């Protein structure tokens, strides 16, 4: 017993300062693949290697339409490796949560040379929120938002709709001494009837469709739904098939999307903060 206490005191406080302080990101962490559209010479190699078809290139009449969907991206980095001119850089950016699915989709149009490489960039449509790091970083902000909005703590029910459990590992980490989400007044509950928010992971398997709908209906209003990870957003690597319906928004309305495969705990925290902003709107509208 004395040995354990001694060890505890020697370890000291391990809880991260995020979001008040910048997140401590390990070297080699793969976050958002940032694309320099004007410098991109050819989108085809990246589209060919992308395992989830997050990058697509369609040629028509000497023009190439390129689409990049961060809601499908699993941050594997293969596109950057296949782009020797360096137009795709894997960055450590992880604060990528957005309120609208469309904000995760970028598109560009290129005129083509005879060999199929890009001659010129005709237009580009960035999904602004997806590529901007989150502005809100104040440490007490989350707690203030929760108490101002709910007058108490925030209760989350996690719903695994068919996940590989990668996202669950990161969600569990929110409760460990390092991320300690309870310091912000956020806790997980066992029943949707006690929840303010559903965190949905995984592509929605057909076996979980009814369960997810019932869980949603059992959650009191104004309820929030947060789709977690590439699978929760779009079906990810599984997409839509005989066993999978795709992302959570195919079954229930989604308020916030958190990209990643899986999203790291700080990214989850940022998405939850954003979702609480949505709840504030909903409460305001209903009064
Ligand atoms: S990092 Fe994303 S966009 Fe690039 S190849 Fe992997 S899944 Fe596709």
Give, in order, the Cα–Cα distances in Å from 240 to each of 52, 133, 247.
11, 30, 8
- 261 and 156 within one domain: yes
- 273 and 160 within one domain: yes
Number of domains observed in the structure of the chain:
2
Q: Which of 54, 67, 131 for mutating ligand 1's site (highest number of atoms within 8 Å of CB)?
A: 54
Q: Which of 45, 55, 90, 229 for mutating ligand 1's site (highest number of atoms within 8 Å of CB)?
A: 55
- 274 and 174 within one domain: yes
Per-residue pLDDT of the chain (287 residues; tens, 9 = 90+): 778 888 888 888 888 887 777 888 888 899 999 999 999 999 999 999 999 999 999 999 899 999 999 999 999 999 999 999 899 999 999 989 999 999 999 999 999 999 999 999 999 987 544 444 443 343 456 666 666 666 668 999 999 999 999 999 999 999 999 988 888 888 999 999 999 999 999 999 999 999 999 999 999 998 999 999 999 999 999 999 999 999 999 999 999 999 999 999 999 988 988 888 766 665 665 55
- 268 and 159 within one domain: yes
Give, in order, the Cα–Cα distances in Å from 4 to each of 11, 21, 93, 178, 180.
11, 30, 37, 18, 21
pTM score above 0.95: no
Q: Tokens in use for 139?
A: 């440490």
- 151 and 275 within one domain: yes
pLDDT score recorded for residue 146: 67
Nearest to 75, CA basis, from 50, 47, 58 = 50
pLDDT score recorded for residue 128: 43
**74 CB less than 6 Å from ligand 1?**
yes
Q: Is residue 273 part of a domain?
A: yes
Q: Are 39 and 286 a contacting pair, CB within 8 Å?
A: no
Q: Is residue 22 part of a domain?
A: no
Q: Which of 30, 33, 51, 87 for mutating ligand 1's site (highest number of atoms within 8 Å of CB)?
A: 33
Last residue of a domain, one of 112, 131, 150: 131
pLDDT score recorded for residue 280: 66
- 148 and 104 within one domain: no
Last residue of a domain, one of 108, 131, 154: 131
Last residue of a domain, one of 131, 157, 186: 131
How far does residue 67's CA lie from ligand 1's centre (Å)?
12
Distance between CA atoms of residues 206 and 243, nearest Å: 6
Q: Is residue 56 part of a domain?
A: yes
Domain residues for the domain of 122 are 33-131
How far does residue 196's CA lie from ligand 1's centre (Å)?
33
Distance between CA atoms of residues 269 and 248, nearest Å: 19
Q: Is residue 115 part of a domain?
A: yes
């Amino acid at each position: 017993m004395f040995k354990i206490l001694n060890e505890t005191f020697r370890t000291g406080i391990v809880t991260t300062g995020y979001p008040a302080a910048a997140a401590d990101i390990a070297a080699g962490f793969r976050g958002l693949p940032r694309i320099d559209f004007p410098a991109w010479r050819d989108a085809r190699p990246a589209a060919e290697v992308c395992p989830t078809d997050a990058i697509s290139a369609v040629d028509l009449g000497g023009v190439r339409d390129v689409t990049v969907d961060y809601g499908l991206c699993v941050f594997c980095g293969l596109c950057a490796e296949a782009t020797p001119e360096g137009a795709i850089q894997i960055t450590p950016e992880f604060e990528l949560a957005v309120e609208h699915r469309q904000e995760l989709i970028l598109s560009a149009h290129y005129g083509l040379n005879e060999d199929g490489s890009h001659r010129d960039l005709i237009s580009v449509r960035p999904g602004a929120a997806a590529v901007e790091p989150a502005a809100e970083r104040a440490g007490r902000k989350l707690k203030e938002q929760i108490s101002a909005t709910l007058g108490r703590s925030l209760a989350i029910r996690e719903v695994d709709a068919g996940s590989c459990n990668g996202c669950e590992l990161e969600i569990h980490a929110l409760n460990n001494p390092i991320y300690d989400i309870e310091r912000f007044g956020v806790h997980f509950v066992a029943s949707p009837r006690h929840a303010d928010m559903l965190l949905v992971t995984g592509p929605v398997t057909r076996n979980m469709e009814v369960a997810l709908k019932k869980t949603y209906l059992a959650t009191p209003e104004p309820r929030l739904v947060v789709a977690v990870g590439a699978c929760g957003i779009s079906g990810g690597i599984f997409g839509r098939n005989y066993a999978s319906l795709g992302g959570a928004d195919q079954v229930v309305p989604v308020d916030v999307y958190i990209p990643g495969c899986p999203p790291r705990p700080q990214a989850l925290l940022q998405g939850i903060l954003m979702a609480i902003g949505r709840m504030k709107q909903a409460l305001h509208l209903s009064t």
